[in-house]
Amino acid sequence: MTTTSSAPGKVYLFGEHAVVYGEPAVPCAIERRASVTVTERGDDRVRVSASDLSLDGFTVEYAANGDGQPDVDVPTPLIEAAMGYVEEALAQARDAAGRPDAGFDVEIESAIPLGAGLGSSAAVAVAGIDAATRELGAALDPVDVADRAYRVEYEVQDGQASRADTFCSAMGGAVRVEGDDCATVDAPDLPFVVGYDGASHDTGELVAGVRALREEFDFAADTVEAIGDLVRRGEDALAAGDLDTLGRLMDFNHGLLSALGVSSRSLDSLVWAARDGGALGAKLTGAGGGGCIVALAEDAGVETALSLSPDCEESFRAALATEGVRAE
């Protein structure tokens, strides 16, 4: 039997980085999805093929409890991270099914750039756990998938992950995460436009950088708390469908993230291009350091403005994904 599941990526309306320290965050699922196809093998080996993770395609085969390393000409940290999420997702599926020696053929297809702030790792982990557990006859509900996918990110990111990305990918729509408290929230059909600078980043390294800054300077800790206060104001605006206030708060959030050192020249350039194009607000999304910005924009001018920016590799509208993980 062969089983396929898909899960959406996400953008952060507000709250990335601060959510790691127990502050609230509001990520929103978007209609860019990762699909994972799993076939149980007759032995304990794992064979992983990835046709598109913003890497050259690769295939690697290894023992279920061994080390696998694809031989491709891309940055080693990205390969290690990609394989880490896959391996940990399969380990969670084996644990859930009580099948510690199960082997798999795994094929990954993704429209979500790797390491760009759109939640590719969470989507792969969520879809991988869902597909592998169903393949082993131990299907989980989306909340349980989200919990196990969080454990995957926690392990790969050395204990510095939050539940936000994985819960959003598993559940779909807009969600609110504060520590271990996760809930879906009502949201209008938010008019997102995403700009991508073509870069990727190491999430764990960026999160560690914020942690070091926060431990060294009191004002950095205050900045993290200010982001939490901003999120709480943003929740009220979201509930009221007040797009103007949401946009203003997104601008403010970007400034606070810049103060924490997680923006970049290219991301700042894309944010300003979006604002100059008429966005209600714009900010980086995800860990930062390169990757994507998200703008709130009701007309076509923002996508055009981003596409004309020399720092923009791709721009696209991103509809809110109302459905999370699903069988394909």
Give the active site residues: 165
Longest CA–CA separation in the chain, Å: 57
- Answer yes or no: are the C-beta atoms of 123 and 34 closer than 8 Å: yes
Q: What are phi and psi of 49, to 5 degrees?
A: -120, 130
Per-position b or e across 173-182, b if 16+ CB within 10 A of its CB: bbbbbbeeeb
* Structure letter (DSSP) for residue 196: E
Residue type for position 158 = D
Q: Which residue has 């790797």 as its token pair?
A: 114
| Tally of CB atoms within 10 A around 217 | 11
Got the DSSP string for 115-153?
Answer: TSSS-HHHHHHHHHHHHHHHHTT----HHHHHHHHHHHH
| Tally of CB atoms within 10 A around 241 | 13
Measured distance CA(94)–CA(146) in Å, rounded? 16
